[in-house]
Amino acid sequence: MTRFFSNFWDLFLIQLANWRWSWAATMINGLLVPLTTFFFFKLLATSGNTEQDLYLLSGNIIVSLLFTTMYGTCARFSFMRTFGVLDYYATLPVYKGLLVLAVNAGFLVLTLPTALLTVLMGQYIFNITISLSPLFLLIVPLASFSLSAVGALVGVTAPNFDTATSISGVLQFIFMGLSPILVAADRLPEFVQWIGKALPSTYAAEALRLSLIGQFNEKFWLDVVILLVVNTLIMLYVGSKMEWRSA
């Protein structure tokens, strides 16, 4: 067990070192997207409804994760696969699953401060009162990991780097437009609601929204279980699909 954590920590530090020159740009990018959406809806005067404001607040955290965590993880795994970086990791006495976990954890460090700032600024912009529970700090990593797992899946299965980033870009807008993250599900067409049920962003946004208002009911814990299952299955598949010397 000690070796497991030691190997993970080493891989985690390597991932952080990869972002030592670009971490600030990544965090700014993750913050600008939700802030732009906040001010856009504010200018259109569509806010004022507390329930809708909560959708905007929690949904924009997911949007930020889509543009940073999912895209970044996809690009990172595709880059490692395309340019032979995995050959270096193949020389280390570590499990492939630990590398997947370390990459996801590295992006989590970049996105967690952004998520907290998004909540604070959204609360101020929409003038709403939220109940920020410690469980919020559980849901944000879980949401981040579930979306980064999708990015990792694309990164290890796409034939090349350009294709991987293109697919990830398309998925960002599918997750945004076909899941009830910014508006309630009943405001979407019925066929879109069914599609949304298959997307992890739906459950991540709902869990975040419920955590912000302190409703830790059966629906909240069902979302948590679904995210855990989806994240575990995808990460296991990514670990099995990732070939050390495929580049």
Counting the structural domains of the chain, the total is 1
Q: Which two tokens stand for residue 195?
A: 């599609």
- Give the N- to C-terminal CA distance of the chain in Å, as an integer: 31
> Is position 46 within any domain?
yes
Domain carrying residue 160: 2-241
Q: In Å, how far are 24, 38, 174, 176, 201 from 114, measured between CA atoms?
A: 11, 14, 22, 18, 17
pLDDT band at 135 (very low <50, low <70, confident <90, very high): confident
> Is position 64 within any domain?
yes
Separation of alpha carbons 67 and 71, rounded Å: 6
What type of residue is 33? V
- pLDDT, averaged across the chain: 82
% of the chain with per-residue pLDDT over 90? 6
> Is position 52 within any domain?
yes
> Is position 109 within any domain?
yes
SS3 assignment, position 25? helix
Mean pLDDT of 217-231: 91
pLDDT band at 112 (very low <50, low <70, confident <90, very high): confident
If one compares 94 and 232, the residue with the highest pLDDT of the two is: 232
> Is position 157 within any domain?
yes
Q: Which two tokens stand for residue 25?
A: 């740009």
Whole-structure pTM value: 0.84
Mean pLDDT of 44-58: 70
Closest to 103 in 3D by CA, of 17, 226, 228: 17
Separation of alpha carbons 157 and 164, rounded Å: 8
pLDDT at residue 246 tops 50: no
pLDDT at residue 100 tops 80: yes
> Is position 247 within any domain?
no
Q: Output DSSP code: residue 26.
A: H
User: Which range is least confidently modeled, 48-57, 82-91, 135-144, 194-203?
Assistant: 48-57
> Is position 246 within any domain?
no
> Is position 119 within any domain?
yes
pLDDT at residue 87 tops 60: yes
Q: Which two tokens stand for residue 199?
A: 């997307």
Quick one: pLDDT at residue 226? 93
Separation of alpha carbons 234 and 226, rounded Å: 12
Closest to 99 in 3D by CA, of 240, 5, 239, 241: 239
Please report the DSSP string for 123-177 in residue order. Answer: HHHHT------TTHHHHHHHHHHHHHHHHHHHHHHSSSHHHHHHHHHHHHHHHHH
